[in-house]
């Protein structure tokens, strides 16, 4: 009898929301004697690959940690390079995203981004707003603690104005005040490069996410790595605080 070929990903539904901490661009470049910016450039290509793979695998939301609130502290030249890559990505990729039915969303503190980048973000979000194949969420100038503090400040203002009763503040209302208000929590969080930290990424939203740490450096992250992470996810026993069995 012929054996069925092993399918790359078990025939289980894909995680609805995959979030990725893209790490290791610098080390990828260093290992090749190249400047860090070369690593980021290859990282942007890995972004393109990951988005395509997520759509093909049937993932509904893909969140990518593209620039953290802490990344502003990197040397000015590197910040400029990263902003340049983001600008290029937004200018050149949105047409392809739109053609493939992908909706773009950006989360993070826009007040620190350049006016032209904010304009590109707004334009791209508006253009792709009606797409349903995949939602690509780019976390830009994003920090989980900052997001929580902003939500608290907003709710406190509403309490002061008499619009919200403190007794009505619950997890649902709190979540509705985060950047991710209408986005489901991630089922799977992947971090590349072997580091095993959350680094201020989606702190509230990761409460019950499965965490998968891969040894691959971000510029090398490919479809096989994405599928391997999903297989690991499927092998986990998600309990949400309940007992096993
Ligand atoms: C980590 O590498 C990566 C980042 C600083 C952010 C990710 C940025 C990209 C993938 C490039 C452009 C993104 C888009 C969306 C076009 P690192 O520099 O921290 O690596 P290291 O830890 O090895 O130094």
Domains of the chain by residue range: 17-143+185-234
Q: In testing the pocket of ligand 1, which one of 40, 65, 90, 105 has its CB within 8 Å of the most ligand atoms?
A: 40
Asked if pLDDT for residue 2 goes beyond 70, the answer is: no
Atom of ligand 1 nearest to the CA of 86: 16
Instruction: For residue 65, list its beta bridge partners.
Output: 21, 139
In angstroms and rounded to an integer, the radius of gyration of the C-alpha atoms of the chain is 19
Q: What is the mean pLDDT of residues 20-32?
A: 98
DSSP assignments along 84-134, one per residue:
HHHHHHHHHHHHHHHHTTEEEEEES-GGGS-HHHHHHHHHHHHHHTT--SE
Q: What is the pLDDT of residues 167-201, one digit of tens each?
A: 999 999 999 999 999 999 999 999 999 999 999 99
| Catalytic residue status for 71 | yes
- Tell me, using a 6 A CB cutoff, whether residue 85 lines ligand 1: yes
Residue 209 DSSP label: -
In the set 25, 71, 131, 185, the catalytic residue is: 71
pTM of the predicted structure, to 2 decimals: 0.94
Asked if pLDDT for residue 5 goes beyond 60, the answer is: no
Q: What is the pLDDT of residues 200-244, one digit of tens each?
A: 999 999 999 999 999 999 999 999 999 999 999 999 977 788 887
CATH class of 17-143+185-234: alpha beta
| Catalytic residue status for 185 | no
- Phi, psi (5° rounding) for residue 220? -95, -5
Averaged pLDDT score across all residues of the chain: 95
- CA separation for the pair 44, 35 (Å, rounded): 15
Asked if pLDDT for residue 101 goes beyond 70, the answer is: yes
- The whole-number pLDDT of residue 241 equals 82
- Tell me, using a 6 A CB cutoff, whether residue 89 lines ligand 1: yes
């Amino acid at each position: 009898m012929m054996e069925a070929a092993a399918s790359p990903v078990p025939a289980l539904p894909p995680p609805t929301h995959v979030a990725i901490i893209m790490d290791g661009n610098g080390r990828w470049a260093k290992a090749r004697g190249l400047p860090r910016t070369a690593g980021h450039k290859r990282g942007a290509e890995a972004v393109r690959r990951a988005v395509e793979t997520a759509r093909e695998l049937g993932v509904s939301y893909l969140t990518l940690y593209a620039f953290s609130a802490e990344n502003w502290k990197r040397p000015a030249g590197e910040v400029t390079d990263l902003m340049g890559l983001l600008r290029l990505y937004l200018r050149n990729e949105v047409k392809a995203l739109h053609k493939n039915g992908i909706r773009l969303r950006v989360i993070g503190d826009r007040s620190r981004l350049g006016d032209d980048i904010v304009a590109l973000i707004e334009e791209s979000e508006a253009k792709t707003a009606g797409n349903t194949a995949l939602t690509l969420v780019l976390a830009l100038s994003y920090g989980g603690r900052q997001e929580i503090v902003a939500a608290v400040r907003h709710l406190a203002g509403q309490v002061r104005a008499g619009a919200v009763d403190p007794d009505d503040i619950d997890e649902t209302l709190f979540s509705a005040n985060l950047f991710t208000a209408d986005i489901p929590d991630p089922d799977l969080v992947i971090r590349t490069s072997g580091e095993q930290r959350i680094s201020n990424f989606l702190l509230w939203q990761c409460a019950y996410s499965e965490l998968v740490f891969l040894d691959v450096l971000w510029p090398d992250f490919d479809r096989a790595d994405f599928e391997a992470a999903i297989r690991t996810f499927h092998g986990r026993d998600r309990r949400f605080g309940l007992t096993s069995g």
